[in-house]
């Protein structure tokens, strides 16, 4: 699956698109656009895909993505009682304008935007303050919205931040590698519940040989395919344990584990407790 080009249309008289998202699950396609994107997750959890980065996300996840960086957020386990809520701000690649950005007073903002071209995830007290400011932005208009966004970016410039896309990822390079990863991600999301899924199946979706794809996936994502697939299955199982009354055997099968013993072993290793104790909200004795 090639990353889908998304056309951002803020509306007449606006340069910023500010979205308050409230839906059952995060289920956007693998996509990109020429605008910056600032995303704050208010409710929901799952996997965040940004270029060659694959990480879990939950409420409080705060990310700034550079122009052209392919991405999507995927709710683990599908729709949940809590739902999926986020504030998303998309703004032009030229923001806030060359003349303003070149001022000496804007040095920290220049540095932030330079680092964020590969994506940044923010943490810490200052990031939490920026998140509070961002949540008021959907009700603002005109210059107030622009000034508020500048304030958020200024607060983020002093926050702890970690880069998402790897050193080797080239945003402006050929789309071939991105397309292969997109096809692989799409196939894994559609088929991870299938216990018969093989390396060959995913490699075929990416139009590569199994051996070449195995190397490519590890180089691109930083982990082996089976480690990633097990993570997807365990995340899905954990959501079902929290949100359904299905039996543990049913959940193991629904999550793609071939046997209950395999599920229990992997779950214990990941969560340091048995599935039954996880459901009850307490560690194993």
User: Based on the domain organization, do 153 and 184 belong to the same domain?
Assistant: no
User: Based on the domain organization, do 214 and 245 belong to the same domain?
Assistant: yes
DSSP per-residue string spanning 210-238: HHHHHHHHHHHHSS-HHHHHHHHHHHHHH
- Name the domain boundary from 126, 142, 163: 163
How many structural domains does the chain have? Answer: 2
Residue 280 pLDDT: 87
The 10s digit of each residue's pLDDT in 187-212 is 887 788 899 999 999 999 888 999 99
User: Based on the domain organization, do 72 and 187 belong to the same domain?
Assistant: no
**220 touches 228 (CB < 8 A):** no
Q: How confident is the model at residue 68 (pLDDT cuts 50, 70, 90)?
A: confident
CATH of the domain at 229: 1.10.10.60
User: Based on the domain organization, do 11 and 144 belong to the same domain?
Assistant: yes
> What mean pLDDT is predicted for residues 146-170?
87
- Name the domain boundary from 128, 163, 198: 163
CATH of the domain at 68: 2.60.120.10
Q: What is the extent of the structural domain holding 38? A: 4-163
User: Based on the domain organization, do 243 and 204 belong to the same domain?
Assistant: yes
Of 2, 54, 10, nearest in space to 31 by CA = 2
Q: Can the peptide bond before residue 25 be classed as cis, meaning omega within 30 degrees of 0?
A: no
Residue with the larger pLDDT of the pair 279 and 239: 279
- Name the domain boundary from 135, 163, 191: 163
User: Based on the domain organization, do 181 and 128 belong to the same domain?
Assistant: no
- pTM attached to this predicted model: 0.69
């Amino acid at each position: 699956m090639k990353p889908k080009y998304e056309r951002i249309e803020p509306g007449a008289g606006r340069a910023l698109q500010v979205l308050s998202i409230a839906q059952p699950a995060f289920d956007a396609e693998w996509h990109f656009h020429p605008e910056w994107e600032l995303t704050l997750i208010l409710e929901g959890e799952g996997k965040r895909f940004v270029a060659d980065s694959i990480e879990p996300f939950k409420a409080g996840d705060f990310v700034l993505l550079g122009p052209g960086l392919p991405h999507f957020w995927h709710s683990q386990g599908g729709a949940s009682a809590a739902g999926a809520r986020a504030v998303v701000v998309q703004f032009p690649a030229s923001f806030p304008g060359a003349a303003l950005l070149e001022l000496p007073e804007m040095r920290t903002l220049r540095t932030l935007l330079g680092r964020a071209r590969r994506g940044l995830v923010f943490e810490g007290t200052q990031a939490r303050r920026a998140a509070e400011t961002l949540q008021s932005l959907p009700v603002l208009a005109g210059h107030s919205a622009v000034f508020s966004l500048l304030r958020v970016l200024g607060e983020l410039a002093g926050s702890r931040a970690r880069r998402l896309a790897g050193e080797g990822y080239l945003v402006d390079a050929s789309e071939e590698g991105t397309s292969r990863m997109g096809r692989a991600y799409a196939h894994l999301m559609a088929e991870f519940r299938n216990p018969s899924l093989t390396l060959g199946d995913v490699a075929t979706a990416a139009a590569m040989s199994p051996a070449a794809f195995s190397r490519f996936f590890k180089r691109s994502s930083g982990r082996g395919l089976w480690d990633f697939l097990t993570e997807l299955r365990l995340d899905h199982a954990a959501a079902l344990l929290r949100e359904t009354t299905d039996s543990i055997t049913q959940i193991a099968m629904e999550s793609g584990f071939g046997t209950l013993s395999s599920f229990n072993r992997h779950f214990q290793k990941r969560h340091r407790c048995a599935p039954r104790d996880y459901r009850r909200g307490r560690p194993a004795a």
